[in-house]
Amino acid sequence: MEITEIAEAEATEEFHDPFDLPHVPFKFDRLSHSESMNRSLDFYKLVNGRRSLRMFSEDPVPIEVIRNCCMAAATAPSGAHTEPWTFAIIHTREMKAEIRQIIEHEERINYESRMSQQWVSDLAKLRTNWEKEYLETAPYLIVVFKQAYGIDENGKRVNHYYYEQSNSIACGILITALHNAGLVTLTSTPMNAGPAIRALLDRPVNEKVQLLLPVGYPASNATVPDLKRKPASKVLFEY
């Protein structure tokens, strides 16, 4: 800001000195090269075992595990540290049933008219359709909301920068945290159902559904498509 702009801003109640935030020493324990190598390989092996599941057990999961995973996701970096995310944990049978009804209503229309035949055909190999039984079978649903902007304690709008990217990073951490905790999930994007879900959960208008994750243990008869991931030669380039 220019000097004149600062002077004008200071005359209003909205001014916040951008240089007023204290900085503290960063504590860091540097690993040896061999320890870094071992940790990186172990982590790759861990996440490479992650799969998306549509067949869940009803076995209970401690809610503290779900809370911890959501708080891990909330450590994600965000534009100007605005933290533009909300995590809603649903575990009651009644609420899960209502969400299933909302989503299946929209998904049936999606599959029958909104989605192209190619899209439906591409999904067929995954054995998925508009029916979403897992929305009630899984012990938890986590709805991740992205905040397009914030609202401060005075009801004033707060800018959120790069909120799409920030939330995408948080979602990646959440999915990884759930896998690390020995749970399975599915990256569900309930097309056209977001507004109704937001209304059901009574979330404010600045929040929009980004992902819905059913979470739990796999069913004893769970199967997954025999898919292969791209090799390093297809995704990794060094310069």
Residue 215's SS3 state is: strand
pLDDT, average across residues 70-78: 98
pLDDT of residue 122 exceeding 90? no
pLDDT of 1: 45
Task: Give percent helix, percent strand, percent coil of the chain, each to the nearest 5.
Answer: 40, 15, 45
Of the pLDDT bands very low, low, confident and very high (cuts 50, 70, 90), residue 82 is very high
The predicted structure's pLDDT at residue 66: 98
Q: Percent of the chain, pLDDT > 70?
A: 92
> How many angstroms separate the CA atoms of 125 and 105, rounded?
22
| pLDDT at res. 101 | 97
pLDDT at 62 over 70: yes
pLDDT at 15: 58
Mean pLDDT of 65-83: 97
Confidence of residue 121 (pLDDT cuts 50, 70, 90): confident
Q: Is beta strand 140-147 parallel, antiparallel or unpaired with respect to 85-90?
A: antiparallel
**Which of 3-7, 158-162, 176-180 is predicted least confidently?**
3-7
213, pLDDT greater than 70: yes
More confident position, 85 or 122 = 85
Find the helix packing angle between 63-73 and 163-180, rounded to 10°: 140
